Structure 1
Amino acid sequence: MNRRKALSRVCGAVALAAGLALSPAARAADKLLVRLDFSPWGMHGAMHLALQKGWFKQAGLEVEVQDGTGTINTLQLLAAGQVDVGQVALGTMAVAKENGLDLMSIAGFARTGDLAVLMDEKQGVKSPKDLAGKKIVCFTTSPWAPFIDPFLKVNGLSRSEVSVVMVAPSAMVSTYASGNSDGLMTQAPFGQPMVRKTRPASALLLADSGISFPSYGLVATPSTIKDKGEALRKFVDVQLRAWKYIYDGHIDEAVAAIIADRPNAKLDPDVLREQLQAYRPFFESPSKPGLAFGVQTDADWKAAIETLEKTGQIKPGRVPADYYTNALLPN
């Protein structure tokens, strides 16, 4: 071996050793494009907190976070390969999968169903039967949309008895708050804090009508899981640690992070704080309370599958493994 070749090998070895010694943040970062369900609100806390504190960068990730225009739109963009990860309603993901979108949940946060009909407290609505003759607003890309008719049917109601009016997403809360509707279809922990100061609302949870499925979590396509598995593992780990940090007494930090990341959104910190507080009980697994954040169970998904089959949202024969994986969670 001549001196030139020997020197070249030595230099290569030194460069390799130096590369291995670099911290994750110093190496080329793995890029991920993340899309949320909607415009900024409390459930985005872990995402913005991780951005503000630099936790993604520390994990060797370059993460761009987009606001969304509804869960359905985010799912469509995921399936089309235009984004890598979506934070969306998992029950809606299951319906979208039935309609041909190749998707998989990789972490579950709000594992208890949160969809509800919110009604003016003064109306004294106690059960779904009391909704007859009422005007309720929703929007077409809402997680509620696939479940409106099944919810009415299971409670012996129809669209002719309950007026469900579709409005723009941005107009739904204001339509209710101004008195132009009797109620709204939304997530209870999202909506009740939004209207508390103007027109306090009671909640009829969809789960109380026997319609049960998981709420918010992270979704990717099988191809993205295959191609960017290591980056997704890092991403999921950061998000789980962020949620634990938030609920270990740091909700106000999450609120501040959302506002700092979206300074032009005119966000009410009280609403964001109340949304985060209200969501904590929904983070529990219905089948296994106390389960670590992110972990999904066959039992929870079996209940969801049964519900979705009964309501005609999916065909018989589906199994939990069709919808979720825990493979990307920390060991």
Structure 2
Amino acid sequence: MTARRVLIGLVPLLLVATACGDGDSDTTTTDSGREIDKVTLTLNWYPYGEHAPFYYGKQQKIFEKHGIDLDIRAGQGSQKTVQATGAGQTDFGWADTPALLSGVHSGVKVKSLGVFLQTTPSSVQFFESQGIKSPADLKGKTIAGTAGDALSKTFPIFLKLNDLAESDVRVQNTDPAGKIAAVISGKTDGLLGYASDQGPTMQNKANKQVGYLRFSENGLNFYSNGLIAGRQVLSGKKDLAQRMVKAVSESFAAAEKAPGPAVAAMEGASEQLPPEEVLSEQFRTTLTLLHTPATEGSAPGVNTDADWQKTIDVFAEAGLIENPKAVTDYWDDATALKG
């Protein structure tokens, strides 16, 4: 994980306000005198390049157009965001689909409103000087991974699909915050991470070109980050949920057309914000993750039953979930965007 996350474990999870806001009212009034809903969105982590559309959408008043006064809150991992969303501590969350699946099976009352990163950023990352060009080149290498997370659980499937045994690659259990340091120091030959996150940071820190073996380009794809909501919103505020989905989709579409201004809109978002060049590279990579072949040409956030089922099947095989449920137990397709 990036350096900005080192302090995550030291900071208690913020119990953010729900749509009732921090004051006595659940609405606010725009400059034009229009009354709109106060809404909280908790991210998966502290802000990084992937989140640019939220800040750009707020700056460009896309959320306001849909009757939303958006308050963006930093998160401390997708699992905590799923829990906070299910508990009603935040109106909406932005979280990784594996954490959502796991949360649902743990009894958390939460569903996806649509996955926006539909091509997984999961990848093996390394300095290009390692000479790794294909999965076969990983044989005999040591890779930093974190036991129990989605990356480590799906890595054996990646190896199998590429004719490698688990014993061909040594995965060194590493704290998430220490992965990049392990590679830079030479303790490991690479790390398991997200192409839209750790890679640009590692490249910036070491001033060395980073290479990737993306899971999605080597036979394995599944859903990643998306918008989620808890039972309180889904049962009592359907209209708000639908407006939020549309606003997020429009914000991603607008940011895709203006990546520079979208990244610039993040200025001041967090004390832990990465340098602008890292943010730009993170967002550039994010834009390569928005669709699968089934949704190419559709608006950002349009999902399909088949892609959901494929994702569920992958994590059932990986052992993340037992006794998989129906797609509609994880995805609120009634609220979702239609292709």
Are the aligned partners of 1:71 and 1:142 in contact in 2 as well (CA < 8 Å)? no
Are the aligned partners of 1:237 and 1:330 in contact in 2 as well (CA < 8 Å)? yes
Separation of aligned partners in 2, 1:227 and 1:193? 41
Per the alignment, do residues 330 and 133 of structure 1 end up closer, same or farther by CA in structure 2, a change over 3 Å counting? closer
1:204 aligns with 2:213: yes
Q: Percent identity, aligned pairs only?
A: 25
Query: What does residue 94 of structure 1 align with?
Result: 101
Letter in 1 for 2:52: G
Give the structure with the higher percent helix.
1
Letter in 2 for 1:310: E
Separation of aligned partners in 1, 2:31 and 2:131? 56
Separation of aligned partners in 1, 2:244 and 2:33? 17
Letter in 2 for 1:221: G
Separation of aligned partners in 1, 2:93 and 2:184? 30
Are the aligned partners of 1:285 and 1:291 in contact in 2 as well (CA < 8 Å)? no
Q: Secondary structure at the match of 1:173?
A: helix
Q: Secondary structure at the match of 1:291?
A: coil
Separation of aligned partners in 2, 1:202 and 1:109? 24
Counterpart among 297, 300, 325 of residue 332 in structure 2: 325
Deviations 1:11-35 (A, max 9, x none): xxxxxxxxxxx98974543232211
Q: Secondary structure at the match of 2:267?
A: helix
Letter in 2 for 1:239: V
Counterpart among 215, 222, 226 of residue 235 in structure 2: 226
Are the aligned partners of 2:47 and 2:269 in contact in 1 as well (CA < 8 Å)? no
**Map of 1:121-160 to 2, 5 A cutoff?**
121-139=128-146, 143-148=150-155, 150-151=157-158, 156-158=164-166
Q: Secondary structure at the match of 1:136?
A: strand
**Map of 1:1-331 to 2, 5 A cutoff?**
26-139=33-146, 143-148=150-155, 150-151=157-158, 156-158=164-166, 161-169=169-177, 171-197=178-204, 198-208=207-217, 210-248=219-257, 250-262=258-270, 264-316=271-323, 318-329=325-336
TM-score (norm 1): 0.81
Deviations 1:34-77 (A, max 9, x none): 11111221110111112333433343323221111211221122
The Cα of 1:105 is off from its aligned counterpart by 1.0
Question: 5+ residue gaps in structure 1?
Answer: 1-21
Letter in 1 for 2:262: A
Query: What does residue 7 of structure 2 align with?
Result: none
Structure number with bigger Rg:
1
TM-score (norm 2): 0.79
Per the alignment, do residues 143 and 200 of structure 1 end up closer, same or farther by CA in structure 2, a change over 3 Å counting? farther
Separation of aligned partners in 2, 1:273 and 1:62? 26
Deviations 1:66-109 (A, max 9, x none): 11121122112222222221111223322332333232110221
Separation of aligned partners in 2, 1:91 and 1:246? 26
Per the alignment, do residues 255 and 174 of structure 1 end up closer, same or farther by CA in structure 2, a change over 3 Å counting? farther
Separation of aligned partners in 2, 1:201 and 1:222? 42
Are the aligned partners of 1:104 and 1:323 in contact in 2 as well (CA < 8 Å)? yes
CA RMSD for the aligned pairs? 2.9
Question: 5+ residue gaps in structure 2?
Answer: 1-28
- Which one is further off, 115-124 or 200-209? 200-209
Per the alignment, do residues 150 and 84 of structure 1 end up closer, same or farther by CA in structure 2, a change over 3 Å counting? farther
Deviations 1:207-256 (A, max 9, x none): 355442111210112332112222222222221111111112x1111111
